[in-house]
Structure 1
Amino acid sequence: MSEIEVTKVGKVGVLPTDKNLGFGKIFTDHMFVMDYDSRKGWHSPRIIPYAEFSSLPAMIVFHYGQAIFEGMKAFRTVDNHINVFRPYEYLNRFNRSADFLCIPKMDVEQIHTALFQLLALEKDWVPGDPGTSLYIRPFVIASEPHLGVKVADSYKLFIILSPVGAYYETGFKPVSIKVEDKYVRATKGGLGQAKTPANYAMSLAAQQEAYADGFGQVLWLDAVHRKYIEEVGTMNIFFKINGEIITPELNGSILGGITRRTVLELSKSWGMKVSERQISIEEVFEAHTKGELEEVFGSGTAAVISPVGELSWKGQKIAINNNQTGEFSQKLFDYITSVQSGKIDDQLGWMEDVNC
């Protein structure tokens, strides 16, 4: 990648107060852009003002959905440094998604350099209050204008930044989840393990029905047997049964979350028994009947840890831990967010300083 050209805005914006941040609605002054074509490869890296960009109605992304994205976070620490949580792991996953969508791979080191240069320029947009962060959204779209199903010859890569508050407006409280038994999201051999817009578009109908029924999220079951648990719409899922931490194994239709990996690493380091295996919804409900289901929680970049207070499946509802946040869920949330904010030492090497 050649030297990054930088074009700055004429007048910089102002970071809103924390109560007005919301999630994903406010964007920083600048963005990173890079182009690809089959003759030049990835080229013309640049940081430019955040603005509309021109597109043609025949662009392949609009018609055939060839696109990928990522979601990362940067944090302002208590000693006023800007740190990014596990950046290489997110960027490597970005490339794995590119493989699934036949998008040319990117040089992770070069994208890492571009991201950190953008973050250094936008450092004043990183909020510092508890629960806030700077959300990082890299994405690639197929930009070739062509009506016909094929792998595109040209692409655009963007990185945009958004200062955010808590993902859930209600804060760190247990959510109510509907176990989906009507729709399916993904199957082995499909796109379930790629971070691509199609996965999320497929979840919308079920999610809207869940909202209408008073639930906050949907828990997906496997597409074949319709009984084995896969993931929540925006999170991986964990169960604490008789002291054991259980999460569905990555089977080709589940997105391998970076926060999921973080939870597994932490749980093992704390001496917990941890299993990545197939687990059915029947097993979860039976564990509840026996008094063995201690906690349920989700993990994801946006919410970090999300305790689950209620599961509803085929008209049956169960309350987990009396619909209260579990001790282990709280411990995970407190530890991960404390590392991210610099309140405690990063002993596992998760954080990288932007050095701006």
Structure 2
Amino acid sequence: MAKKEITIYDIAEQLNISPTTVSRALNDHPAINIKTKTKVADLAKQLDYRSNKFASNLRKQNTHTIGVIIPKLDSLFMSSVISGIEKVANNAGFNLIISQSFESEEKEKKNATTMFNSRVDGLIVSLSNKTKDLSHFKTFIKKGVPIILFDRIAEDLPSTKVVIDNFKAGYNATRHLVEQGCKNILHITSDLNRNVYKDRFEGYKKALIDSNIEYDPDLFITNDLSESAIIDCIENNVLKRETLPDGIFITNDFSAAFAITTLKQAGIRIPEDIAIIGFNNDLICKVTEPAISTINYPGKEMGESVARILVNHLEGNGNLGITNTVVLNTDLVIRKSSLKKSKTE
């Protein structure tokens, strides 16, 4: 049986003082003398009293809690984003409630309901690949609870967004492969319903056009970028082609690593036969053989930026009523996996 939670009324009864006096003593109110404060503090500690900050904050119309909904936590990029959010939020005195949608619209909606019922002061979201209906955010907007979208966003949701220039990143990745002599470049990505994959795909196509290479739909593949999907794609699609691609731009570093391993097991040389470039600059890029060229995605900087914008708004130093989009810079990181013409870094 759970032990009864100690309240200020229990402390007041034992000390024969009013609950108001106990409350003021615990909050170091100047009207309470030091002797009373000491007696209250000592008994509170003895009884394992815990301050009900949640109830107190509700009376002040805030909880000092920020909700965060992300697709998955199992990537260095997303972990870096959370680290950045937590650093800024905690320094400002805010706690986080973090949940994962696991790429499910239904799960994302349940997470949003939980956040709303927990009375979070603000919500930070990166949408799942499957999310099309955005109605679960309307209750937040109606109640004036600020929402910030990052990475995977929806243009038609009235909120501030923090992103990278995915079009430019996709363009630069593809252009690099072209500069290495690749003309038959395969693009493996995920659901184009999401802005990040759609924009990278558009950048890929534009880089081909600018290089006088005709876009070939047969060199475009979408899947969920999981280990099994990539291995199946390489074994039952790529390796069975009459003409192999000479370059692959794949929008996830772990997927690129699985692709390299599977291709090498089939006797394909990387980058001599097929040059490969990934996306995110995850740690795995440096431990594969060869090391993976990629696009550096500043996850921690993105998290700090998102949290800073929201905290400034909540503290009255900003205005999220003005919808805007913050675009962060990315860098092309060249390693062995894509270098057909040059020596390694």
Q: What band does the TM-score fall into relative to the shorter chain?
A: under 0.3
Larger % of helix: which?
A: 2
**TM-score with structure 2 length normalisation?**
0.24
**TM-score with structure 1 length normalisation?**
0.24
Larger % of strand: which?
A: 1
